[in-house]
Amino acid sequence: MTRRVPSLPDTPKDRVQRRTAAVLLIGIGVCLLFLGGRLIHINTAMRGRLLSIASTQYRSRSTLPARRGMIFDCRGRVVAATKNVSDVFVDPSRVEDVDDLAEALAARVNLPATDVAAKIRSRAGRRYVLIAPRVDEVTADAVRAMKHRAVGLSDRALRTYPLGDSMGHVLGFVGRDGAGLEGIELDHDQHLRGRAGRRITIRDARRRALYLSSAHAPEPPIDGGHLVLTLDAEIQRIAEQALAETVAQFEAKSAVAIVMDPRSGDLLAMAGVPSFDPNHAGTVSPETRRNRAVTDTTEPGSAFKPFIICAALEGGFVSTTEQIDCHDGVHYFGRRRVTDTSPHGLLDLKGILTHSSNIGMGIIAHRMGNEVLHETARRFGFGAPTGIDFPGEAPGFVRSLHRWTSYSTNAVCIGYEISVTPLQLVTAFAAIVNDGLWVQPRLVKTLLSADGEPMRQAEPPRIERRVASPATARYVAGELMVSVVENGGGRRAQVGPYKVLGKTGTAKLPYRDRAGYEPGAYVSTFVGAAPASYPQVVVLVMVRRPNAAIGYYGSLVAAPAAGKILAATLAYLDVPADEQVATAGL
């Protein structure tokens, strides 16, 4: 229905005027309608691209860092912690009176005012000069209270290791971004780091934050959990001290000591020399940072003999009373010449181990044959990682059986032609001490949540494996290896009131770049346990490249250090001496 409003004047000319005006105005209206359609077009076809522009220009995503969990030793001592520190910096372009500011700032950050002034002047006109890195929270608050427009603070988390260079190889360290890079810090990084939160801030064109009701709620960070290690900082210190003395005395290249609880597999100490301080990880070469106890492999030498003897007894290849002719110090097995340090003649099993007779071992090994020898090495865990919760563990090396030769029989039985890590060696030794039960070693005792509650479900199942019968294991440990310390090469390990058992080893080191053994290059080993009647701890000391002119036999270099560690550790653990136990009728 159209309504025509009557108006005057009303000539044909007026009507043409009205219609022309109406057409033109309706034309403008049509343009407006078209622009309405354009609005829909912008909000559909162009929307995605435009929204991404909007989002990148005014939404800034920031992470809310999670606090990294602490690491404790088995007695609750803090060995790794995170603290909040701040870097104090100055924007020199905003400083009006340098001396005035330097004086005020110096008093708060505890630096000489002249130094601060010199730093600011050295970068005059620039926007940033670092005045004091890593100041603590109290200092930071004092600086913040100045409210000076040229002074700024950037907060960050700093990982600190209160023990310094003690335990450094085990703990590892974290990178600048707070991620674990080595050691326990790397292996349990997921647990320790927690999860960072996120916040989306809307900012104006000058990057100032806007607080709009439409903003998203921030996602809070989840702090990392804590770790309790099996290591004991005090035993670690004992081991490190003994190692340091030994290395100094024998001018050795490096050394490793491991202290282990044979029943639980808990490692009480894992020390390496040269040591390394994770507080300054960046300044240390990767060579030094390496945890040699799990990464370095070597031929074990005579320290390997107890495992062969265990297997020989188990398989009935030799009896405890049999007398074996060890000849006059030199014997040919086929074309292979084997020597002892001195001629022994007839020896029983105890004698062979006590005097570490290579000829005696060779005779027994030939009775066993390569297949049994190979199986023995594998059963005691050699040639495969122990599965300890530590990154970069070396598997060692046991050659495949089909590649063994007739020479291998004589080599393997005295600890050559296979390579082992110190950890594998001490774990296998602990199996003998632990009545023939091989227990997987571990470094982490408990995982704690961020609130400090134990997380039981997080503990992996322990692996245990029988490697010898209890009777055999007790005989080898309690008789044969006690004799090694009483009458053989282990004499120097007998320190203090606890009766020590153990085995020495002295292995030649091969050339690094060609076949054959390097003259004068040795690894001196002692693996032992005490007290002999109810062993509480197993200790391994392995000293690499002692100065051969001073001494290189395991009995001379490694045994005394192991003895010191055993005596001090047992005293620290309040273990009663053998005689007291005997008197008490235990």
Q: Which residues bind other proteins (CB under 8 A)?
A: 1-14, 16-18, 20-22, 24-26, 28-29, 31-36, 38-40, 42-43, 46-47, 50-51, 53-54, 57-58, 202, 204-206, 208, 210, 212-214
For the bound state, the minimum distance from the C-beta of residue 236 to other proteins, rounded and expressed in Å, comes to 56
For strands 71-72 and 226-229, give the pairing: parallel
Closest contact distance (angstroms) between CB of 41 and other proteins is: 9
Q: State the helix-helix crossing angle for 98-109 and 113-122, rounded to 10 degrees.
A: 130
Residue 87, strand partner residues: 154
Question: How do strand 537-544 and strand 254-260 relate by DSSP bridges?
Answer: antiparallel
16 or 130: CB nearest other proteins: 16
Q: DSSP state, 303?
A: G
Determine which helix (DSSP H) or strand (DSSP E) holds 27, and give its type and residue range.
Answer: helix 12-44
For other proteins, give the closer residue by CB, 58 or 407.
58
Distance CA 472, CA 310 (A): 6
Residue 93 annotated as catalytic: no
Output the smallest distance, CB 35 to other proteins, in A. Answer: 5
The answer to whether 428 and 382 are in contact (CB under 8 A) is yes
Using the minimum distance from each CB to other proteins, give the nearer residue, 7 or 285: 7
Report the distance separating Cα 148 and Cα 170, nearest Å.
44
Reduced to 3 states, what is the DSSP secondary structure of residue 135? strand
Minimum CB–partner distance for residue 52 and other proteins (Å) = 9
348, 320 contact by CB (below 8 A): yes
Minimum CB distance to other proteins, residue 199 (Å): 16
The total number of residues written for the chain in this structure: 586
CB-wise, 176 or 207, nearer to other proteins?
207
Place of tokens 């653990």: 573
| SS3 at position 552 | coil
Number of H helices, E strands in the chain: 20, 22
Between 113 and 202, whose beta carbon lies closer to other proteins?
202
Q: With DSSP H G I counted as helix, E B as strand and the rest as coil, what are the percentages for the chain, rounded to 5?
A: 40, 25, 35
Measured from the CB atom, the residue of 18 and 126 that comes closer to other proteins is 18
Quote the CA–CA distance of 579 and 333 in Å, as a whole number: 45
Nearest to 561 by CA among 581, 546, 579, 577: 546
Cα(423)–Cα(289) distance, rounded to whole angstroms? 17
- Which of the residues 166, 254, 302, 555 is marked catalytic? 302
Q: Which helix (H) or strand (E) holds 259?
A: strand 254-260
Minimum CB separation of residue 126 from other proteins in Å reads 26
Our CB check for other proteins shows the closer of 200 and 394 to be 200
Report in angstroms how near the CB of residue 145 gets to other proteins at its nearest.
25
Active-site residue list: 302
